């Protein structure tokens, strides 16, 4: 039923629409529309489209919710339907689907989709408001026009084969890139890209840390024209440009008057061929592992069994990540397998579903405390003191993005018919520890017997038995592959 293909996947993942939770529907709709406006450089037309999306998304949500409620099943007696409903109507700010992106740049040959500032989604994400997330998608045999950003960036190649050019400190470096590659791009570097494949789209996930205004960044295009893209040269007076470039005005007008096909454009086969072949800089993978990038799939997995593999890249593998305090991880959960429950001791994860399907659960005290008041007043119970947690639940699909804050226990489950692959950008990565809550060496099994007894109110022997039954580590057989009640140790 499940084969342990040596594929890849990670930690974290994505929300079924009915968990995205409505809050008051009106306020979320309002927020959604607000995001349309917040997008910089959006045209009227795009805004209209964006608004429409909001409307559609929200009406769709109500319908789906109806359906999902019927699908919901709860085996745990004290996690009943009633509580689930509370959860479904509260907001889940940790999950991002297509609807949450805004198309920053779009041509017939590809698109660049940008997540709004995380704090526009929820105040709970204030800790990562200084980061931005972008998906770049380029069709086969296309060219992304040279530009620089006022942000440091880490790129993860999710799909396709391309060539990346980086111009920095008076030198140009070229890299042939392929899935699993991780590249750090310094703020202000002029970068351009080709998709050199004939068939497959090139898909790159990009984490940005703006250097200028927190959480805000811009693309600066040198090449371009008067518009689409506009060249920043065209913002200068013509007498300035004439003097600086020592060139006649008519030539400048010609230079800046041609290109208007957009940021991602079609390249000829010959152009692709030439740009894929040059040897300048370290063309990877020829000539040994270049320092310019690293491939996460080529690392030795830090966790591996029949249910999955886990790979990591940090400053010790790729020095350029060090000053950013960012690491990357990649998990491949075999079909029918699961990862966790675990938590990160200090890193917040921004996770991208690279391939496959499945679902995700996380225990969140913040959402619980927000909804707690209401629950309390409804039920009339006033005795609860201490922490409580709300389950964040989400289906996972390709292209979804998920935020998992430090300290929050979570679990990821692959569907029964496909491996689930997830790449994670880990922010605040230095000294981070992944803490296991089940399986070998789980943290509960390390407590003293007296602490078990007092903590759970049960004889230590019983507690030990439960927390030492699972022999695997990190990746386990998922719930779908088990007959309920069968596999007790």
Interacting positions 431-470 with its own copies (CB under 8 A): 431, 433, 435, 437-439, 441, 443-444, 446-448, 450-458, 462-463, 465-467, 469-470
The rounded radius of gyration (Å) of the Cα atoms in the chain is 25
Residues 106-145 that bind its own copies (CB under 8 A): 106-107, 124-127, 143, 145
Tokens of 276: 């894929």
The one segment of 6-14, 196-204, 230-238, 394-402 that binds its own copies by CB under 8 A: 230-238
3-state class (DSSP) for residue 36: helix
CA 3 to CA 161: how far, in whole Å?
27
Q: What are phi and psi of 116, to 5 degrees?
A: -60, 165
Instruction: Report if residue 70 touches its own copies, rule: CB under 8 A.
Output: no
Instruction: Report if residue 411 touches its own copies, rule: CB under 8 A.
Output: yes
- By beta-carbon proximity to its own copies, the closer residue of 269 and 289 is 269
CB 180 → its own copies: shortest distance, Å? Answer: 25
Instruction: Report if residue 391 touches its own copies, rule: CB under 8 A.
Output: yes
What DSSP string runs through 65-100?
A: HHHHHHH----STTS-HHHHHHHHHS--TTEE-GGG
- By beta-carbon proximity to its own copies, the closer residue of 70 and 239 is 239
CB 391 → its own copies: shortest distance, Å? Answer: 5
- By beta-carbon proximity to its own copies, the closer residue of 6 and 407 is 407
- By beta-carbon proximity to its own copies, the closer residue of 231 and 295 is 231
CA 269 to CA 196: how far, in whole Å?
9
Tokens of 372: 């707690």
- By beta-carbon proximity to its own copies, the closer residue of 5 and 248 is 248
Instruction: Report if residue 60 touches its own copies, rule: CB under 8 A.
Output: no
Instruction: Report if residue 219 touches its own copies, rule: CB under 8 A.
Output: yes
For residues 130 and 215, the answer to whether their CB atoms sit within 8 Å is: yes
The one segment of 3-11, 37-45, 91-99, 312-320 that binds its own copies by CB under 8 A: 37-45
Q: In Å, how far are 111, 413, 463 from 456, measured between CA atoms? A: 53, 27, 8
From the centroid of its chain, how far is CA 258? 36
CB 62 → its own copies: shortest distance, Å? Answer: 24
Residues 282-341 that bind its own copies (CB under 8 A): 338, 340-341
- Edge-to-edge strand list for the sheet holding 151-159: 102-107, 110-114, 132-138, 202-210, 151-159, 181-185, 293-295
Tokens of 448: 């003293």
Binding residue count for its own copies, defined by CB under 8 A? 176
Residues 79-108 that bind its own copies (CB under 8 A): 79, 105-107
Residues 148-177 that bind its own copies (CB under 8 A): 148-150, 152, 165, 167-172
Instruction: Report if residue 71 touches its own copies, rule: CB under 8 A.
Output: no
The one segment of 13-21, 314-322, 325-333, 401-409 that binds its own copies by CB under 8 A: 401-409
SS3 content of the chain, % helix, strand, coil (to 5): 30, 30, 40
Per CB under 8 A, the list member of 56, 67, 81, 248 interacting with its own copies is 248
Per CB under 8 A, the list member of 263, 326, 352, 354 interacting with its own copies is 263
Q: In Å, how far are 407, 423, 443 from 436, measured between CA atoms? A: 11, 19, 6
The one segment of 8-16, 34-42, 51-59, 309-317 that binds its own copies by CB under 8 A: 34-42
For residues 320 and 326, the answer to whether their CB atoms sit within 8 Å is: no
| Residue corresponding to tokens 């990877």 | 284
CB 285 → its own copies: shortest distance, Å? Answer: 20
Per CB under 8 A, the list member of 70, 71, 286, 485 interacting with its own copies is 485
For residues 154 and 326, the answer to whether their CB atoms sit within 8 Å is: yes
Return the bridge partners of 413, or none: 338, 359
Tokens of 301: 């997995």
Per CB under 8 A, the list member of 1, 71, 77, 286 interacting with its own copies is 77
């Amino acid at each position: 039923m499940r084969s342990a293909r040596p594929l890849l996947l990670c930690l974290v993942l994505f929300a079924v629409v009915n968990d995205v939770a409505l809050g008051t529907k009106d306020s979320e709709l309002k927020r959604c529309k607000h995001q349309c406006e917040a997008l910089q450089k959006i045209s009227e037309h795009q805004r209209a489209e964006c608004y429409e999306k909001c409307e559609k998304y929200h009406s769709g949500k109500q319908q789906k919710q109806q359906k999902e409620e019927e699908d919901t099943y709860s085996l745990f007696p004290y996690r009943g339907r009633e509580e689930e409903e509370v959860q479904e109507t509260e907001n889940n700010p940790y999950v991002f689907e297509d609807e949450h992106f805004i198309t920053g740049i779009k041509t017939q040959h590809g698109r660049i989709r940008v997540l709004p500032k995380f704090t526009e989604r929820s105040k709970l994400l204030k800790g990562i408001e200084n980061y931005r997330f972008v998906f770049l998608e380029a069709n086969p045999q296309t060219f992304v026009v040279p530009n620089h950003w006022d942000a440091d960036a880490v790129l993860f190649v999710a799909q396709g084969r391309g060539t990346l050019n980086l111009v920095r400190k008076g030198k140009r470096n070229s890299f042939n890139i392929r899935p699993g590659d991780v590249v750090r791009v310094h703020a202000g570097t002029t970068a351009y890209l080709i998709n050199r494949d004939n068939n497959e789209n090139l898909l790159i996930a990009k984490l940005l840390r703006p250097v200028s205004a927190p959480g805000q960044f811009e693309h600066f295009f040198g090449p371009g024209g008067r518009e689409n893209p506009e060249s920043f040269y065209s913002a200068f007076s013509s007498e300035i440009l004439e003097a600086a470039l020592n060139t006649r005005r008519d030539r400048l007008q010609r230079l800046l008057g041609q290109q208007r096909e957009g940021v991602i454009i079609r390249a000829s086969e010959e152009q692709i061929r030439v740009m894929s072949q040059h040897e300048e800089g370290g063309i990877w993978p020829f000539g040994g592992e270049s320092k310019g990038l690293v491939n996460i799939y080529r690392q030795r997995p830090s966790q591996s069994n029949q249910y999955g593999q886990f790979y990591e890249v940090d400053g010790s593998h790729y020095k350029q990540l060090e000053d950013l305090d960012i690491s990357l991880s990649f998990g491949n959960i075999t079909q029918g397998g699961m990862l966790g429950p675990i938590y990160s001791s200090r890193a917040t994860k921004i996770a991208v579903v690279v391939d496959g399907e499945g679902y995700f659960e996380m225990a969140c005290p913040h959402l619980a405390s927000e909804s707690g008041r209401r629950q309390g007043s409804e039920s009339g119970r006033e005795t609860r003191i201490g922490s409580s947690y709300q389950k964040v639940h989400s289906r996972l699909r390709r292209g979804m993005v998920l935020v998992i804050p430090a300290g929050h226990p979570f679990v990821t489950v692959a569907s029964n018919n496909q491996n689930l692959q997830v790449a994670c950008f880990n922010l605040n990565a230095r000294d981070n520890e992944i803490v296991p809550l089940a399986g070998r060496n789980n943290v509960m099994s390390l407590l003293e017997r007296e602490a078990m007894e007092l903590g759970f109110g049960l004889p230590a022997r019983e507690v030990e038995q439960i927390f030492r039954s699972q022999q695997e580590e990190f990746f386990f057989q998922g719930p779908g592959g088990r007959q309920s009640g069968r596999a007790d140790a």
